């Protein structure tokens, strides 16, 4: 065999060896300082205030189609990789003076992604997405691989009273999942969901802010039982899927090591 033939054979063997090598293990999540959690809450609060401090029970005021809100929603879409097409389409609508600016597609997941990105949480720990289902897939997988260090930990609604900073998430589909654990069987497939960021906890309720609620950034009040757990939602409303415990700034070296446990316990 000539020199060229030997070189080609060695290259082929090297390629085959590389294909047979196992993929590298997933990078463990970073532990963020308390400043990330504080920024997350400040940004969510500030966005709500900029939209006029609207509550879910108040008469609607500022909406997504108003000119003053155009740059706000545009900023949310800039935070997600899927934002290019919606931005291009809605820039054209805005230029034309159309009354349908930002009506499609829904931007609630882009809002949550914007808040986490603005807080300085990297895509490794919170992958921004235009769909709640996809960033929740990543959070659930991270909690399974790294239960001691994942920044967000899923819990069944009956197992955790939401705390400030947590994400409370609901399934908006016609056949909602009974638990976040069922999501593993369809991971990677779209499912209509919605998450809000808890800003306050009071006796008998929590107050959480979300995007694209009544076409705005809106504060919703959700009733809780005597232990602070969320009560079931009415028939026809999105059904609770999970409470995602926010552990930003609550893990070592910023806090004592948590007690060993599995996600959802």
At residue 257, the pLDDT reads 61
At residue 78, the pLDDT reads 98
The reply to whether 16 falls in a domain is no
The reply to whether 171 falls in a domain is yes
Share in percent of the chain as helix, strand, coil (round to 5): 35, 20, 45
Alpha helices (H) in the chain, listed in sequence order = 3-20, 34-50, 70-78, 84-96, 108-118, 132-145
Supply the DSSP string of 205-251, one letter for each residue. Answer: EEEEEEEEETTEEEEEEEEB-TTSPBPPPPTTSPEEEEEEEE-TTSS
Per DSSP, the chain holds a count of helices (H) and strands (E) of: 6, 6
The reply to whether 251 falls in a domain is no
pLDDT tens, 218-265?
A: 999 999 999 999 999 998 899 999 999 999 999 999 986 655 555 555
The reply to whether 264 falls in a domain is no
Q: Residues near 173 by Cβ (< 8 Å), separated by ≥ 6?
A: 191, 192, 193
Q: Residues near 207 by Cβ (< 8 Å), separated by ≥ 6?
A: 198, 199, 200, 201, 219, 220, 221, 222
At residue 17, the pLDDT reads 59
Q: How far is CA 171 from CA 131, 179, 189, 243, in A?
A: 12, 10, 14, 12
The reply to whether 98 falls in a domain is yes
Q: Are 143 and 225 in contact (CB under 8 A)?
A: no
Furthest CA-CA distance within the chain: 83
* Domain interval for residue 236: 31-246
The reply to whether 159 falls in a domain is yes
At residue 259, the pLDDT reads 59
The reply to whether 252 falls in a domain is no
Beta-bridged to residue 196, according to DSSP, are 168
pLDDT tens, 9-23?
A: 666 656 655 555 567
pTM: 0.88
Q: From CA 114, how far away is CA 214, in angstroms rounded?
A: 19
The reply to whether 139 falls in a domain is yes
At residue 1, the pLDDT reads 47
Per-residue DSSP letter, 68: G
Mark the ranges of the chain whose per-residue pLDDT is less than 50: 1-2
What length does the chain have?
265
State how many domains the chain has: 1
**220 phi and psi angles, rounded to 5 deg:** -105, 145
């Amino acid at each position: 065999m000539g020199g060229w033939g030997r070189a080609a054979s060695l290259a082929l063997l090297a390629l085959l060896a590389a294909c047979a090598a196992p993929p590298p293990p997933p990078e463990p999540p970073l532990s963020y300082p308390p400043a990330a959690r504080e920024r997350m809450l400040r940004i969510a609060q500030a966005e709500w205030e900029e939209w006029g401090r609207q509550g879910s029970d108040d008469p609607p005021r500022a909406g997504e189609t108003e000119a003053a809100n155009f740059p706000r929603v545009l900023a949310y879409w800039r935070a997600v990789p899927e934002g290019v097409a919606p931005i291009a389409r809605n820039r054209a609508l805005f230029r034309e003076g159309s009354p349908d600016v930002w009506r499609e597609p829904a931007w609630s997941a882009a809002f949550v992604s914007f808040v986490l990105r603005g807080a300085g949480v990297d895509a490794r720990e919170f992958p921004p997405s235009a769909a709640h289902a996809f960033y929740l897939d990543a959070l659930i997988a991270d909690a399974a691989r790294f239960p001691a260090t994942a920044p967000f930990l899923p819990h069944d609604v009956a197992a955790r009273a939401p705390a400030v900073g947590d994400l409370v998430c609901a399934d908006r589909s016609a056949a909602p999942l009974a638990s976040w654990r069922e999501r593993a069987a369809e991971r990677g497939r779209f499912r209509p969901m919605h998450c809000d960021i808890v800003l306050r906890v009071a006796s008998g309720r929590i107050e959480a802010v979300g995007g694209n609620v009544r076409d705005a950034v809106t504060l919703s009040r959700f009733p809780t039982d005597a232990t602070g757990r969320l009560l079931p939602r009415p028939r026809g409303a999105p059904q609770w899927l999970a409470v995602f415990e926010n552990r930003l700034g609550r893990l070592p070296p910023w806090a004592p090591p948590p007690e060993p446990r599995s996600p959802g316990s």
